Structure formats: C-alpha cells, structure tokens
C-alpha cells in the first residue's frame, strides 16, 4: 500500500509544521549539501530505497517514491528539502504505520528545483536520497502523462498485457508511435570513437488513441505518445516481457554477455540466441567448472536485473552506460551527484580509486539519460574486471 503526500511551493509556509522547526534546525542547509554520498539510490536490496520521477503538465512535478522492504511499524518522520531561485526550503512528513511504500510529490510553477534531498532515520541508520534536476537536460511531455490507477506511472516500463492510461490536457487524440527497434548496448568505457549507426530511428507504426484512454500494449518495444505531432514533446514507454527486469528468456540471458565475451564468442552465441546449449557451453568453457559457472551466473544476472530496475530509460537498463558499469563492476562505493553529472567511485585490488563520470543529457525519449565520459585510460581496469568474471573471481 502507499501513502501519497502533495506539497506546493506557494502554500509551503502554510503546511510547515511549526513544532518541528527546532527538531529539524540542523537540516536548514540540507539543500546545499552537494558532497553527500548518494549510493543509497542504487541499493536495490536495502531496507529502504528511493526513486525520483519528474512529470509536467501545466506545471512541473517531482515524485519521490520510498519503498520499504518491510512495513513501517512505528511512525517515521521523513525530512525533505529543495533549492530553488526563491531560496532553500525544508519540511517533513510522517509515514504512518503499516506503509510499505510512501509517495511524496511536490509541484513547481516555472522551473524544477536545482536539488531535492530526502532524509530519514530508520532501521538503525540514516538514509539520504538526493537528486539534481538540470533544466537544460529536461525534455517536456507536451501535456501527455501515463497513469496507473490513481497514480502516475512512476517507472519507464510496463509488461506486455498491462494497462496504462494515456492522459492528455488537450482532450483530443494522442499520436502514438511504435518502435520495434532493438537498441544497441553501451560501448566499452575506453572506446572514444563515436558509435556507428543511423542518427534517426525508423517508426514501425503510427496510430491514434483517445485522450485519457486505457491502453494495453501487445508488442514489446518503445512507444512514444504526443498530443501535438508537429512538436518534439512527448512521453515514452518501454513495453517488456512479463519477467522483466529479471532476465529469463534465453535471448535476454545471452545478449548481456557482450560485455564479457570475445568478438568470436559473441558472434557464435548470436547465431542462435534461443540455444540454451550454446549459453551453457559459454559459461562452462569460459570458467572451467560447473561450480564457478553457477556462482558467476548468479552474480552476473543479478547485476543485470538490478541495472534493469535502476537504469531503464528508453532501453533496457543493462544497455545504458550506467547499466554497463553496474553489470561489470557492481554497486559503486561512492556516488557523488552534482547538477549535471554523477561520479561513481570504485577501488581496484591495489586500493587505487577508479572514477566514472556520467553527464545527464537531453533525450527526446527519457529524462533519465546519462552518458559516460569515455577515456582510453579505462582500458586496463576494464579488462582486469572482465578477466575476473571469466576466471570466476567476482569483481
């Protein structure tokens, strides 16, 4: 079950809980804390997780979705703050007992805040979730939004056969574009040459939906919805197989091996993406024993699943730049988020830091699109990590 809270900047002063001001005075500058470790955002198995989602119609909306792995049995105060051109704001709300999910939302008239921070003390530690919202990397939805039941769709994907309501402030027809395209996985981090391929994406079909219609997609792929076909504004949706984000089909288990296989090995696997024998042969022949293969398979596909859950945008999460790094190196030790960038820090076997920096980039299909700053110097640490997978030593 979830509890939804709505907050509007204009009425912030009215909703502020005066009695809590003294208790939370220590966080009056919380919105300015840009040196926090935001790795909690990428703890998929943690007792509590948080995901930020943005929407816009006649104003901007930011949702913070708190998921608890067990029900909250005692009243829990959640502190939140944001930074705007009007200054810093701090407030709090209470999660009621029995909630396993709490959805907070805030509305902003003209621009998104530079930064929102959510903080709570629970399960014997403090949890901090923080996100920046660079307007230069934001792509508007043109008044179209996707809903399920009484809440907006708070993720970028649904399963085939699931229902989604396509709302439009225009109350007219919604142009719907279907792309059956299979997007390429990320290029290795040391590959600095531009990706090959067409700059345009072929549309497989176009059809119309009525505004506010419930729609059940029956094809796997990318859907793009627009109220005005002459603009670039719209909202996208990835439709996946029922098991997503967990890879279970042979093809979904085989494709991510592009990151740990040689060119010849992967070419051989591609000849029959439906062959379980070819998949088993790859793992057994590469690692040399069934025991090592079982351990590697479990850990590798767990990383793929978590990357799908965390980073799916207009394509599966494991194919994105952040997803690629997550699959091979796992959860980073430190995540530092700044206005347009986030930096992931790892340590190698000698204790030396390895940093990967990603930049948030405007994308017609997604407001969560990050691109890695590629560098030839990643060559050695990357192949060391690949060798560990192939030798059964999990990085």
What's the 3-state SS for the chain? CEEEEEEEHHHHHHHCCHHHCCCCHHHCCHHHCCCCCCHHHHCCCCCEEEEEEEEECCCEEEEEEEEECCCCCCCEEEEEEEEECCEEEEEEEEECCCCCEEEEEEEECCCCCCEEEEEEEECCEEEEEEEECCHHHCCCCCCEEEEECCEECCCCEEECCCCEEEEECCCCEEEEEEECCCCCCCCCCCCCCCCCCCCCCCCCEEEEEECCEEECCCCCEEEEEECCCCCCCCEEEEEECCCCCCCCCHHHHHHHHHHCCCHHHHHHHHCCCCCHHHHHHHHHHHHCCHHHHHHHHHHHHHHHHHHHHHHCCCCCHHHCHHHHHHHHHCCCCEEEECCCEEEEEEECCCCCEEEEEEEECCCCCCCCCEEECCCHHHHHHHHHHHHHHHHCCCC
Question: What CATH class has 2-133?
Answer: mainly beta
| In the chain, domain spans | 2-133, 144-240, 250-391
Q: Tens-of-pLDDT digits for all 395 residues of the chain?
A: 344 444 333 333 333 333 343 334 334 444 445 578 899 899 888 899 999 999 888 889 999 999 998 888 888 999 999 987 767 889 999 988 777 888 999 999 888 999 999 999 988 899 999 999 999 999 999 999 999 988 899 999 999 999 999 999 777 899 999 999 999 999 999 998 877 655 678 999 999 999 999 999 999 999 999 999 999 999 999 999 999 999 999 999 999 999 999 999 999 998 877 788 999 999 999 999 999 999 999 999 999 999 999 999 999 999 999 999 999 999 999 999 999 999 999 999 888 999 999 999 999 999 999 999 999 999 999 999 999 999 998 87
The two domains 2-133 and 144-240 share their CATH topology (first three levels equal): yes
What CATH fold (topology level) applies to the domain 144-240? Answer: Immunoglobulin-like (2.60.40)
């Amino acid at each position: 079950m979830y509890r939804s809270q709505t907050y509007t900047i204009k009425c912030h002063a009215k909703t502020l809980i005066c009695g809590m001001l003294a208790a939370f005075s220590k966080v009056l500058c919380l919105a300015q804390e840009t040196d926090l470790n935001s790795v909690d955002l990428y703890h998929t198995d943690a007792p509590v997780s948080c995901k930020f989602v943005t929407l816009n119609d006649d104003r901007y909306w930011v949702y913070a979705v708190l998921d608890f792995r067990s029900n909250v049995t005692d009243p829990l105060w959640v502190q939140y703050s944001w930074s705007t051109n009007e200054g810093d704001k701090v407030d709090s709300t209470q999660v009621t007992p029995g909630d396993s999910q709490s959805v907070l939302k805030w509305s902003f008239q003209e621009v998104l805040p530079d930064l929102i921070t959510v903080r709570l003390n629970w399960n014997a530690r403090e949890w901090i979730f923080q996100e920046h919202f660079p307007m230069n990397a934001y792509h508007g939805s043109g008044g179209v939004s996707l809903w399920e039941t009484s809440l907006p769709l708070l993720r970028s994907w649904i399963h085939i056969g699931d229902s989604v309501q396509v709302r439009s402030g225009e109350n007219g027809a919604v142009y719907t574009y279907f792309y059956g395209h299979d997007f390429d996985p990320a290029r290795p981090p040391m590959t600095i040459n531009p990706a090959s391929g067409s700059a345009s994406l072929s549309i497989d079909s176009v059809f119309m939906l009525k505004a506010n219609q419930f729609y059940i997609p029956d094809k796997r792929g990318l859907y793009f919805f627009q109220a005005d076909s002459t603009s670039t504004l719209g909202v996208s949706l990835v439709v996946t197989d029922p098991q997503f984000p967990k890879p279970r089909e042979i093809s979904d288990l085989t494709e991510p091996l592009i990151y740990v296989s040689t060119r010849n090995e992967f070419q051989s696997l591609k000849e029959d993406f439906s062959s379980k024998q070819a998949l088993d042969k790859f793992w057994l022949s590469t690692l040399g024993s069934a025991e090592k293969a079982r351990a590697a398979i479990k850990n590798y596909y767990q990383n793929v699943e978590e990357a799908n859950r965390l980073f799916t945008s207009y394509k599966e999460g494991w194919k994105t730049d952040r997803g690629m790094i997550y699959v091979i190196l796992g959860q980073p030790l430190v995540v530092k988020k700044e206005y347009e960038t986030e930096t992931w820090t790892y340590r190698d076997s000698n204790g030396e830091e390895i940093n990967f920096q990603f930049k948030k980039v405007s994308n017609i299909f997604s407001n969560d699109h990050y691109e890695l700053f590629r560098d030839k110097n990643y060559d050695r640490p990357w192949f060391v990590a690949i060798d560990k997978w192939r030798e059964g030593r999990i990085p």
